[in-house]
Amino acid sequence: MDITNLTFLFYGYSAGWIIITLFVLMLVARGRKIDGELARLKALVEDRER
Amino acid sequence: MREKATYLLALLAAVVMIGNLHTIFTQLPDEAMQGAVYRIIFVHVPAAINADIFFTIALVTAILFLATKKFIYDSVTVACVEVGAMLTLFNLVTGSIWGRNQWGIWWAWDLRMTGQLMCFLLYMGYLLVRPAISEPTQRATMSSIVAIFAYADIPLVLMAIRLPNVRTQHPGPVLETGGMAPAFRGPFAIGILAMFLISAALVLVRLHQETAQREIDSLRREVHAR
């Protein structure tokens, strides 16, 4: 097996999975922010209803 | 229920992808001219095909939003565009790395590659337009128009390697011309399926977030109204 080609194969797959992983991490961070904001607003509305 | 469906889809995607990668790396022989690096095609092309699938769904839902003004269509559009843009970036980066090895250059300004870069930039434009408009109906309307406009680039990218008088650095079509070895076709098709399952799971997560964001906007209006 050509070692140069193997190196670039590694670069290609690594870059691809890094892009997907970063996207997933971005989604997780956004999800946490949204959940926190939703809980805060729901508590605020309930407080005002009392 | 929806969360469980998303997790199941993600699990199925992981199983299909890992199984396919096992086949690609342990059972397929090296390609005669390229050696091992040709294996990038099993993720590079599926990423592009799935990006086009999700951009097409985004086009349909953008038109449906403009016709009905139902916000669910806008949510589907933004979820599909975001995942499609990520897949386009995946396609551009993996293609560039393959090109550096096979052509000796990272990039060529030919019609196919430039068209794909334009596609990425146009949909990034869509994602940048959204936060700039605060009123929900106006935001959804403007971004739907941008999504429809951005789609005009997709046929150009698809046709770039099929036009008779256009010379491109990018390889010509291999699927419809029978240029792919029979042993590679199965893993290639499963690669498209695996990438679709991963992308669909991500679209569902993003769609759920967009629904929650609309609930936040509605609660904010309620709080301010009191």
Touching check for B39 and chain A: CB below 8 Å?
yes
- Give a three-class secondary structure readout of B34-96: CEHHHHHHHHHHHHHHHHHHHHHHHHHHHHHHHHHCCHHHHHHHHHHHHHHHHHHHHHHHHHH
User: Which residues in chain B come in under a pLDDT of 50?
Assistant: none
Residue A12 and residue B37: Cβ atoms within 8 Å?
yes
Domains and CATH numbers, chain B: 2-167+180-225 (1.20.120)
User: For B167-194, how does the pLDDT look when each residue is reduced to its tens digit (9 = 90+)?
Assistant: 777 776 666 666 778 888 899 999 999 9
User: For B136-161, how does the pLDDT look when each residue is reduced to its tens digit (9 = 90+)?
Assistant: 899 999 999 999 999 999 998 888 77
Query: Which pTM value belongs to this model?
Result: 0.92
Q: What integer pLDDT is reported at residue B226 of this predicted model?
A: 67
The dihedral over CA atoms of B19, B20, B25, B29, expressed in degrees to the nearest 10, equals 130
ipTM entry: 0.89
Closest CA relative to residue A36, chosen from B36, B186, B212: B212
Touching check for B35 and chain A: CB below 8 Å?
yes
- Distance in angstroms (rounded) separating the CA atoms of residues B27 and B29: 7
- Written as one letter, the residue type at A16 is G
Res A1 pLDDT > 70: no
